[in-house]
Copies of this chain bind each other. A is one copy, B any other.
Amino acid sequence: MSRWEPDARGRLARAALDLYSERGYDQVTVAEIAERAGLTERTFFRHFTDKREVLSYGAAVLEEQLIRGVDEAPAGTGPLDMVGCALEAAADTVFGTDVTFAVRRQAVVKASPELLERELIKMAMFAAALAGALRRRGVADPAASLAAEAGIAVFKVAYQRWADEASQQPLREVIRACLAELKTVTGAG
């Protein structure tokens, strides 16, 4: 955002995660996060609205990438596979690069009902964004909503699994495996 604070968002997010891990989300103030990051509170609030928001770092970018992933999926791709393309593309950039961050992030989120709520809201927003992108690609409802919601289900399960196992696999591959598993589960019976 400003040249003299390189990667302020990332530094604040990492500082917040460190402090939440050490002391629990409820016990940490914005002032402490800023201090740990070597930045001011004013800088914090230029990047985030509150201390709950700080772990959603990257959510807006992720949402854009998901939409673009559906926009750019090859013609003739089925609805769920369009979502799969979007999830895999997104996994390569924002979320899927640092499993250590993911492991600690999931532990902190699980321990705080407030963060868990925020997480669920973000996931619902991603599902709505994906459904909208599918509709623009000509997928009718309820197929668009179902593919979007099922895709987010895959993402949630894959991301949690990736973090649970502190997996050496790239997130993209865990997503692909979970998508294949969903197809099996759906076909069985």
Contact = CB atoms under 8 A, between A and B. Distances in A.
Interface in A64-116: 76-82, 116
Interface in A117-165: 117, 120-121, 123-124, 141-143, 145-147, 149-150, 152-154, 156-158, 160-161
A182 B187 CA distance: 10
A79 B189 contact: yes
A47 interface: no
A76 to B, nearest CB: 8
A80 B153 contact: no
Contacts of A1: none
A49 interface: no
A66 to B, nearest CB: 16
Contacts of A189: 76-82
Given A80-B189, A187-B183, A189-B81, A142 B117 contact: no
A156 B147 contact: no
Interface of A: 76-82, 116-117, 120-121, 123-124, 141-143, 145-147, 149-150, 152-154, 156-158, 160-161, 177-178, 181-189
30 contacts: A78-B185, A78-B187, A79-B185, A79-B189, A80-B186, A80-B188, A80-B189, A81-B188, A81-B189, A82-B189, A116-B121, A116-B124, A120-B121, A120-B124, A141-B161, A142-B157, A142-B158, A142-B177, A142-B181, A143-B184, A143-B185, A146-B178, A146-B181, A146-B182, A150-B153, A150-B185, A150-B186, A153-B153, A182-B186, A186-B186
